[in-house]
Structure 1
Amino acid sequence: MSSRYEEAKNASKTDPDRATVLYKQILSENPGMNEAALKEYELALMDLGGIYRDRRQTQELAELITTSRSVMTSFAKAKTAKIVRQLVDLFTTIPDTVDLQISVTKSCVQWAISERRSFLRQNLETRLVALYLQKQSYHEALTLINSLLKELKRLDDKMVLVEVQLLESRVYHALRNIPKARASLTSARTSANSVYCPPLMQANLDMQSGILHSEEKDFKTAFSYFIEALEGYASQDDTDKAVAALKYMLLCKIMLNLADDVHSIITGKVAQRYAGKDVDAMKAVAKAHSNRSLAEFQQSLMEFQDQLIADSFIKSHLQALYNTLLEQNLCRVIEPFSRVEIAHIAKLVGDMSPAKVEDKLSQMILDKVINGVIDRGSQCLIIYEETQKDKGFEAAIETIKKLSTVVDVLYTNQASQLD
């Protein structure tokens, strides 16, 4: 490496401004076809991109990607694809840059089309689908997915095909179309079985399988998939996704009413690597559920809002868990009464608003969880005693159904003889 690059490398740690100037000088010179110059250009490009990322200079980073493309025509196609993907990946750690990432990625796609670099274009469009999913632009994501799937199936590019089918499953899951999400995941697994599947991709498939099984209330199977996902992410040192898989494992135990198992999982060897606020949040939820305490449950949601509410998957299941806890508490509170004021129920259940309690009681009455009515004039809940069903009526109805079947058979036989 040249002395100028070494100087820029050393300056990047102490004087980023000085390093930026030196890197720009290196990048301003066309390396031609000289292998050493091309290598230095590549290193300077990535180092300067790293400085812009660390300083959150998003516009400068976007401009760097655009201006460097003219020189990268001298690179091999595989090398160019790798560099462009790495430069675009620098945006991922900078918050609130989804729109800019979409703009830059679209620009790179157009450049790849003009340069006839199909492999790079497919990879960039796959990344664009993930960005659309992150932005919740599901229509644009599905449109691009359909185009990619037709092309990839024709080319038989299994690895990119697996990634696109997995993204399709995630988009349909976000749209709450669980049957299509499962069908896309099945296609992804089928494609993955025909080629070598990297551990990280396998972990992503396991993670999505666990999520879909959770949506179908099969938390026992989901738990086993999340274990596989956690081990896969841990082996690849992907801390963020490993923490998410661990949280989902704990959620499954809570939803299965096995809150006591949460402690044993947290104290495990693998889980201890990811101890922190995310794990503490799930521990607080497990404790509240074990105590059947709505107050503790709401307190944990407020205290760990970023760890619980920010995750849409955990949020939806915790909402269902909260409704279950609320129903259990309401049933326990009203059990001694035949007539009770709604305001009194609200006070007993944990200082909730009477209007919210009334709405929940109405829902429970419609769902036949409670046998009673709400007297809106006096704002009271009137609970009826459970009446014993006369089994004679059920037996009579069953006999009539069987006689009806016999008559239908006799009529059919008689009609056939007449014909």
Structure 2
Amino acid sequence: MTDGDQMDTEPIEAVAASSAPLEDEEEDCSDLATLLDSCDDLASASDKIPVLESILNEPANRYGPKASAIKERAVYAVARAYCEDNRFDDVVTLLTGTTCAAFFANITKAKTAKVVRAVLDAVCALAPDQLDMQAQICRNIISWCQTEKRSFLRQRVESKLASVLFQQDKYGESVAMVDGLLVELKKLDDKQLLVEVHLVESKVHHGLRGMAKAKAALTASRTSANAIYVAPALQSQIDLQSGVLHCEEGDYDTAHSYFLEAFEQLDQLDDREKAVPCLKYMMLCKILDGLSKALGISATGAAGIRSDRNEADISGMISGKRGVKYAGKDVDAMSAIASAASKRSLKEYEAVLSKYPHELQDDLLIKHHLGTLQEQLLESNLIRIIEPYSCVEIDHVATLIEMPLAVVEKKLSQMILDGKFNGILDQGKGQLIVYEDSETDKAMENGLKVIDNIDKVVSSLFDRSQALRSMMV
């Protein structure tokens, strides 16, 4: 069921009666069409805005089929013009202010919902970085919907607001909005919107590092999606979120397959903006998978980092048409990370992070895994350096690894506490003393198990004796 079908529609008889007089007489809207076409010849957005506003507020108050179609196009055009002219305050009040008030009052509620949603989507696409403006325009529309008692449109906009709040890292507000919205939607059984809201819920819980809740929300989204037709754009987002959660669990092969599904769908839709992150995630999975085999690292921590293998299989991540079509700084950044990780060069790795801060640090998934990878590479290199020694100066270790002394000293103490190797730091002499790994004493372990078992037998016999005494008394 579409939003238009659900909308608080007016009775068919009333709509037909209101539009009958306009259909009987020929409606002349040539002047409005001429004004709208003239905007194409104007170079600046500031020149277009007065013309477009005059169409919406024309004195004749024509709202027949032809005039309404022209004014609908004018609403979209004025929203684009406001964004191009950086008049974001006017964008916020566009739909709920006086500019579109007369137009919305003279068209059906279903048509109003369509226009409002189309304008909101267009504004978010034209000004993706203006999250405060997007949140404010959503709140204005929600207040207007509550006043006009347009529940279905309000729910759609609340879903969009929850997504915007997530992008602003306001996870608490986003979760509260999603929880309230889900209660309403489950009563109405609006599966299309349930798919979208559960998907937002999964993203928010992932941002909060609540993987169990994120997986549960994604499962609920998939369950609702199985009952309806899901557009390729939305299906790609579901596959993308599935890949993200599998990547967090360290299942890089499965994550790569989900990212590939999402990438191919977005590539067919020619949505470069959303396809590039999928390609970056695919490259990230290849890097992590290759290094997990070479170093034994995992999503939960370093293990087996004394591997003798020197190369990680991270070749063939981009090639052919894909590499040409999506070439740019994002792909270059991931390729540079792959090169540095393959060489195990921390200095080159940190240089890449400094060179591409926007491409590597703005994304939550990439930032988290690259940070973990950096720590694990540092541990791997430190163990490789100190392995031949029983006693080594910390300053010498810092010189070999080309990192500040304080950072190396802190990391070594952390590794000792985590049991990555046996040793102590002699800070007075500035030395690291490494102990040989001693084999565990099996006789001691077996002796402790025997004592534990004897303790259980004696305790059982004592309990039985107590029971016999109580029976005799």
Asked if residue 169 in structure 1 is aligned to residue 202 in structure 2, the reply is yes
Q: Within 5 Å, which residues of 2 pair with 1:142-181? A: 142-181=175-214
Asked if residue 388 in structure 1 is aligned to residue 439 in structure 2, the reply is yes
Structure 1 residues 206-231: Cα deviation after superposition (integer angstroms, max 9, x where no partner) = 11111112222222222221111112
Letter in 2 for 1:389: T
The answer to whether the 8 Å contact 1:5/1:23 transfers is no
Normalising by structure 1, report the TM-score: 0.92
Which sections of structure 2, spanning at least 5 residues, go unmatched?
A: 1-28, 292-310
The answer to whether the 8 Å contact 1:288/1:297 transfers is yes
User: What is the CA–CA distance in structure 2 between the aligned matches of 1:142 and 1:378, rounded to whole Å?
Assistant: 53
Q: Report the equivalent of 1:126.
A: 159
Question: Secondary structure in 1 aligned to 2:429?
Answer: coil
Of residues 3, 12, 15 in structure 1, which corresponds to 2:43?
Answer: 15
Q: Report the equivalent of 2:264.
A: 231
User: What is the CA–CA distance in structure 2 between the aligned matches of 1:276 and 1:246, rounded to whole Å?
Assistant: 12
Of residues 270, 283, 303 in structure 2, which corresponds to 1:250?
Answer: 283
Of residues 109, 112, 121 in structure 2, which corresponds to 1:89?
Answer: 121
Q: Report the equivalent of 1:282.
A: 334
Deviates more, 1:264-273 or 1:122-131: 264-273
Structure 1 residues 214-273: Cα deviation after superposition (integer angstroms, max 9, x where no partner) = 222222222221111112222222212211111111111211225865431301544543
Structure 1 residues 180-228: Cα deviation after superposition (integer angstroms, max 9, x where no partner) = 1111111111111111121111111111111112222222222221111
Q: Report the equivalent of 2:81.
A: 51
Distance 1:253 1:416, change over 3 A: farther
User: What is the CA–CA distance in structure 1 between the aligned matches of 2:123 and 2:48, rounded to whole Å?
Assistant: 20
CA RMSD between the two structures = 2.4
Q: Report the equivalent of 2:91.
A: 61
Deviates more, 1:209-218 or 1:95-104: 95-104
User: What is the CA–CA distance in structure 1 between the aligned matches of 2:284 and 2:41, rounded to whole Å?
Assistant: 42
Kindly, what percent of the aligned residue pairs are identical?
A: 41
Q: Report the equivalent of 2:140.
A: 107
Of residues 170, 185, 188 in structure 1, which corresponds to 2:221?
Answer: 188
Letter in 2 for 1:9: D
Query: Could you say which structure has the greater relative contact order, defined with CA pairs below 8 angstroms and 6 or more residues apart?
Result: 2
The structural deviation recorded for 1:398 is 4.3
Q: Report the equivalent of 1:138.
A: 171
Normalising by structure 2, report the TM-score: 0.82
Deviates more, 1:31-40 or 1:9-18: 9-18
User: What is the CA–CA distance in structure 2 between the aligned matches of 1:35 and 1:374, rounded to whole Å?
Assistant: 82
User: What is the CA–CA distance in structure 1 between the aligned matches of 2:334 and 2:463, rounded to whole Å?
Assistant: 63
The answer to whether the 8 Å contact 1:31/1:41 transfers is no
Which sections of structure 1, spanning at least 5 residues, go unmatched?
A: none
User: What is the CA–CA distance in structure 2 between the aligned matches of 1:204 and 1:320, rounded to whole Å?
Assistant: 25
Q: Report the equivalent of 2:302.
A: none
Letter in 2 for 1:290: S
User: What is the CA–CA distance in structure 2 between the aligned matches of 1:140 and 1:390, rounded to whole Å?
Assistant: 55
User: What is the CA–CA distance in structure 1 between the aligned matches of 2:312 and 2:321, rounded to whole Å?
Assistant: 18
Distance 1:34 1:8, change over 3 A: closer
- Count of residues paired in the alignment: 418
The answer to whether the 8 Å contact 2:398/2:405 transfers is yes
Asked if residue 373 in structure 1 is aligned to residue 424 in structure 2, the reply is yes
Q: Report the equivalent of 2:56.
A: 27
